[in-house]
Amino acid sequence: MPRSIPAPTGVLFRSRNKVPDPTASFWIIKVLATTVGETAADLMSDTLGFGLPLTTVVMAAVLVAFLVAQFRGRAYRPSVYWVTVVLISIVGTCITDNLTDGLGVPLWASTVVFAAALTAVFAIWYRVEGTLSIHRVDTFRREVFYWLAILFTFALGTAAGDLIGEQTGLGYLPALLLFAGGIALVSLLFFGFRVNGVVCFWAAYVLTRPLGASLGDLLSQPTGDGGLGFGTIATSVLFLAAIVAIVSVVAVRLRRRSTTRTLGEDAMAA
């Protein structure tokens, strides 16, 4: 998956940048989070019987609480950031499902609307800030643009993934392979043809959403519907456990780097 232009040394913990660099662990956690967004939304609304409206309201409220915590932080905090991403993945799924199942909005229409909304966010963000780089999410306004873009990428990815995987009759596995191929193409454009890193990052970010959703559906849906029948509970728990494990490792490494850097600065000052 594409990596954006490398960030300056010391951007984590020692600067005001509020979001992580697009490393390998970033993309792994991102795909896991998108899968959880799909399966957890189905788990709460269907398996546990909460219903889609209640699930949407509760998850949106929890998301707001974590967004407040994210905005109040002075630097990138892995635990807060990735919990927020998981929650926004669930809420993005719920928004699309409410439009489709509750209001009867066709998936193609939702896809067009969310694509237009995401394009508008990018256009306004670039117009106001002059950059879409995730290495410069260091002001309140840029962070607002960033999280708006994230929300619409999840909603768009859900709508586009469902449209391609279900309504076209393609199936979960072929859809998964299709989106994986799209990400491979973006990676080729970035690494092989040096296409702009910011453009490639956001293209891959959008594509990982339907990739994760297709993976979640493939694992959790009944075999009669084209899935593997593991269920939403097992799939959600497994992927959440993987997210917790990887984020914990990332957090420990960042703390060690921060401590080492601080000790080095103290030694130079002595």
Distance CA 18, CA 115 (A): 25
The pLDDT tens digits for 190-201 are 999 999 999 999
Beta strands in the chain (DSSP E): none
Domain map (residue ranges) of the chain: 24-252
pLDDT for residue 228 is more than 50: yes
Q: Please, what is the angle between helix 52-72 and helix 78-97, to 10°? A: 150
Q: What pLDDT, on the 0 to 100 scale, is given for residue 261?
A: 60
Extract the tokens encoding 122: 């990018």
The pLDDT tens digits for 92-128 are 999 999 999 889 999 999 999 999 999 999 999 999 9
Instruction: Tell me phi and psi for residue 264, to 5 degrees.
Output: -65, -40
The pLDDT tens digits for 145-154 are 999 999 999 9
H/E element holding 207? helix 197-220
The pLDDT tens digits for 1-22 are 554 444 433 333 444 789 999 9
Torsion of CA 178, 226, 36, 196, to 10 degrees: 0
Whether pTM > 0.85 for this model: the answer is yes
Instruction: Find out whether 195 and 7 touch, Cβ atoms under 8 Å.
Output: no
Mean pLDDT of the chain: 89
